[in-house]
């Protein structure tokens, strides 16, 4: 029986990866927000800049139904997941994640399934820090040759940068993935 992600008062569980067959870039967040868990969708908070940025870069904005957005990203080889599978976290803020009560996702296994992956992009500093602290060592040689890039968090809690600044950073990092790889269009 498939388990449904949930968030209790202090414990949050994430989603499975959005995993296209020919992934080129993996976007890693920390753990879905309470609103995302409630809706069963990545980046569901209406003020999160993720989908507006994906709309600008890949035509996968909020104007499309969620499933269509995921298909548009998959067509460009964009994979979504989070560093954490579950954690003690009252509320939605990354800063509230208990440092000793968390379970990382099986990212090393994901990398084995996707040897064609070119880059891992972190949606914010917390995602990168958790990856380096709890996952990177287990990935070992699988990280060789991959570009690792920390981008500004799309979370509404990260107000240090404007939408335009966030978009510019994401645009620069994801530029190589905005067009289909030759020979893979329509797959």
What pLDDT is stored for residue 96 in this prediction?
A: 74
Residue 76 has pLDDT above 90, yes or no: yes
H-type alpha helices, the chain: 34-39, 50-58, 66-75, 107-113, 125-134, 136-139, 163-174
* pLDDT value for 92: 78
Encode pLDDT of 9-40 as tens digits: 688 999 999 999 999 999 999 999 999 999 99
Q: Answer for the pair 94, 30: CB distance below 8 angstroms, yes or no.
A: yes
Model confidence pLDDT, tens digit, residues 87-141: 988 877 777 788 889 999 999 999 999 999 999 999 999 999 999 999 999 999 9
Q: Measured between alpha carbons, how far is residue 146 from residues 33, 92, 166 in Å?
A: 27, 30, 22
What Cα–Cα distance (Å) separates residue 155 from each residue in 21, 27, 85, 104, 180?
28, 14, 18, 20, 27
The sign of the dihedral angle between the CA atoms of 113, 118, 120, 123 is negative
Using a pLDDT cut of 90, give the percent of the chain over it: 78
Catalytic positions: 48
| Strand-pair partners of 11 | 88
**CATH 3.40.470.10 applies to domain 13-177:** yes
């Amino acid at each position: 029986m498939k388990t449904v992600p949930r968030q209790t008062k202090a414990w949050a569980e994430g989603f499975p990866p959005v995993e296209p067959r020919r992934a080129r870039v993996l976007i890693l967040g920390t753990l879905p927000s309470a609103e995302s868990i409630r809706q069963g969708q990545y980046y569901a908070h209406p003020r999160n800049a993720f989908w507006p940025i994906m709309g600008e870069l890949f035509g996968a904005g909020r104007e499309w139904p969620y499933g269509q957005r995921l298909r548009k990203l998959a067509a460009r080889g964009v994979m979504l997941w989070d560093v954490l599978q579950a954690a003690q976290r009252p509320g939605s803020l990354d800063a509230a994640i208990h440092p000793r009560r968390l379970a990382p996702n099986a990212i090393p296994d994901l990398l084995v399934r996707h040897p064609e992956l070119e880059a891992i992009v972190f949606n914010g500093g917390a995602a990168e820090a958790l990856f380096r602290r709890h996952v990177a060592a287990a990935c070992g040689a699988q990280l060789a040759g991959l570009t690792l890039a920390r981008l500004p968090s799309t979370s509404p809690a990260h107000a240090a940068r404007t939408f335009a600044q966030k978009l510019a950073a994401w645009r620069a990092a994801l530029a190589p993935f905005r067009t289909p790889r030759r020979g893979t269009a329509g797959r």
